Amino acid sequence: MMRQPRSTMNIAIWTLQVLWGVFFSLTGFGKAVMINAALWNQARLEVTWFSAVPQDLFIFIGVCEFLGGVGLILPAMTGIKPKLTPFAAIGLTLVMILAAGFHIARGEYNFLPTNVVLGGVAAFIAHGRLFAKPIAPASISTFRLVKGLAVLGALFLVGFAPAWYRLTHIH
């Protein structure tokens, strides 16, 4: 197995991939569990723009963010289909562009810096993994599959804990 040489750029991209992957996995999972009516109604009271989005679209956005977050980490980390990582980053960039457009249309300009930073870094990850520091594919092995399942399990547990708490503590 040939290891990629360490470079500042590669370390920077990996760091951002993990941070953005965890962030989008957790926020996406939080949105995806809004299938529960009590959670959805409570969330709409807490965040004003949620009321402007149909519940099904909100859940779909959550699923896209969750899968994009997992896609930033898992394929690159395991070496199994690593070309999926830049495509996940492109997808997340598109989600942030659409979110920015939504907030501009509603006059909610305070959300734009967040959308620009999240989308800009996702675009940087996409460029980095497509052109600057692509990851070579690796052969499938039991170790790589177990490593991938462990990461998925950890993301699920960390994402599920707050959702479980909210599900069990809403009156």
Q: Which domain holds residue 136?
A: 9-169
| Residue 135 in domain | yes
Task: Report if residue 149 sits inside a domain.
Answer: yes
Q: pLDDT by residue (tens digit) across 2-54?
A: 555 679 999 999 999 999 999 999 999 989 989 888 889 999 999 999 999 99
pLDDT tens track for 62-82? 999 999 999 999 999 999 999
The reply to whether 1 falls in a domain is: no
The pLDDT of residue 152 = 87
The chain-wide mean pLDDT, for the chain, equals 92
Residue 38 CB partners (closer than 8 Å, separation 6+):
167, 170
* pLDDT the model gives residue 127: 99
How confident is the model at residue 170, as a pLDDT? 64
Q: In this structure, what token pair is assigned to residue 165?
A: 């708490």
How far is Cα 2 from Cα 12, in angstroms, rounded to an integer? 20
pLDDT at 27: 93
Higher pLDDT, 112 or 168: 112
CA 71/CA 39 separation, integer angstroms: 27
What pLDDT, on a 0 to 100 scale, did the predictor assign at position 155? Answer: 85
Whole-prediction pTM: 0.88
* 2, part of any domain: no
For residue 134 the two structure tokens come to 């692509």
Phi-psi region of 54 (alpha: psi -120 to 50; beta: other; left: phi over 0): beta
| pLDDT for 164 beyond 90 | no
Predicted confidence at residue 81, as pLDDT, reads 96
Q: What is the mean pLDDT of residues 76-97?
A: 97
What is the identity of the amino acid at 153? G
Amino acid 161: pLDDT: 78
| Token pair 């909100």 in the structure block, residue | 58
Q: Which DSSP letter does residue 140 get?
A: -
Total number of domains in the chain: 1
Is a pLDDT exceeding 50 seen at residue 126? yes
Q: Check whether 168 has a pLDDT greater than 80.
A: no
Identify whether 3 is part of a domain: no
H helical segments located in the chain: 8-32, 37-46, 55-78, 84-105, 112-127, 142-169
Please report the pLDDT score of residue 3 as a whole number. Answer: 58
pLDDT digits (tens, 9 = 90+) for 21-34: 999 999 999 899 89
Strand, coil or helix: 42: helix
The HSE-up count of residue 134 (CA atoms within 13 Å, CB side) is 11
| Percentage above 90 pLDDT, the chain | 75
State the Cα–Cα distance between residues 76 and 21, nearest whole angstrom: 11
